[in-house]
Structure 1
Amino acid sequence: MTDKPAVLFVCVHNAGRSQMAAGFLTRFAQGAVEVRSAGSEPADQINPVAVQAMAEVGIDITAEQPKILTDAAVKASDVVITMGCGDTCPFYPGKRYEDWVLDDPAGQGIEAVRPIRDEIRRRVIALLEDLAVPVRTLGDELG
């Protein structure tokens, strides 16, 4: 791993879980981690309920767009975190892979998405601690 680790979050549509995780990592790492997200079958837009859930904690992901998962993105990443994309993620020896089992926020209301968001937040903080990157919360409303 380089001085600045690169983390790739992957889910099927790159519209909910992976976008929320990338939003938290971007906020909490404050430039100390290269953050990427992608999907095996990207949606047309970010899930509006995921956008709403993140806005509730002061993180704006409205400018993000779902992106297709590429071999290049995996090769350029030190850590690859999958979220329900099964075997669609290419495997390269020497990469750290984690599979985060999380409910899919697609088609869910805000009450169902909040606990998913909160669990993603918890896991992102644990990932940063494991990577020895200081967590910078900048007045995060979740404490």
Structure 2
Amino acid sequence: MPESKPSVLFVCVHNAGRSQMGAAFLTHLGGDRVEVRSAGSAPAEAVNPAVVAAMCEVGIGLSAQTPKLLTAEAVQASDVVITMGCGDACPVFPGKQYLDWKLADPAGQGIEAVRPIRDEIEQRVRNLLAELDIRTGT
């Protein structure tokens, strides 16, 4: 058992879709065994309503979440940084593990387009938990 729990930061441009779903799945599946953050290089005013609806379908509420601005401190405090289309806007620090997940952007999409993105993010989060050797609650 590691002495400290791993910390994961999900980053996308608006912190309104992909990174919110990633953080929500990791929190849901990893529980208190992992520290989870999400942020955006240019955060939106609110989480994408289609993303909120798609996550609600799988029993995870996002309506209380708000997009947050990406800070260098958040990156420095994280062991794993997962980028989802933020390109060069993500600061890079030595000693961090960076993963770039190429995913469709749910911005402006209806719930039908968001569902497959949600399902792919869930699968990637489950794989990440396995890589981090964290047992899931479900």
TM-score range, shorter chain: over 0.9
In structure 2, do the counterparts of structure 1 residues 9 and 47 end up closer, same or farther at CA, with 3 Å as the change threshold? same
- The DSSP-based 3-state class of the residue aligned with 1:98 is strand
Please state if 1:110 is matched with 2:111: yes
- Alpha-carbon deviation of 1:52? 0.2
- The equivalent of 2:97 in structure 1 is 96
3-state DSSP class of the match of 2:32? Answer: coil
Aligned residues: 137
SS at match of 1:10: strand
Distance in structure 2 (CA, Å) of the matches to 1:87 and 1:23 = 24
State the Cα deviation string for residues 75-130 of structure 1 (Å, max 9, x = none): 00000000000011110010000000000000001110000000000000000000
Question: Which residue in the other structure is 1:124 paired with?
Answer: 125
- Following TM superposition, the consecutive aligned residue runs of length 4 or more in structure 1 with deviations greater than 4 angstroms are none
Q: 1:4-83 to 2 correspondence within 5 Å?
A: 4-83=5-84
Over aligned residue pairs, what C-alpha RMSD do you find? 0.9
Q: Which residue number in structure 2 is paired with residue 87 of structure 1?
A: 88
Displacement of 1:136: 1.4
Higher helix share: 2
TM-score of the aligned structures, taking structure 2 as reference length: 0.97
Between the aligned partners of 1:13 and 1:44, the Cα distance in structure 2 is 9
Cα separation, 1, equivalents of 2:67 and 2:123 = 23
Pair 2,73 (structure 1): closer, same or farther in 2 beyond 3 Å: farther
Consecutive unaligned residues of structure 1, counting only runs of 5 or more, are 138-143
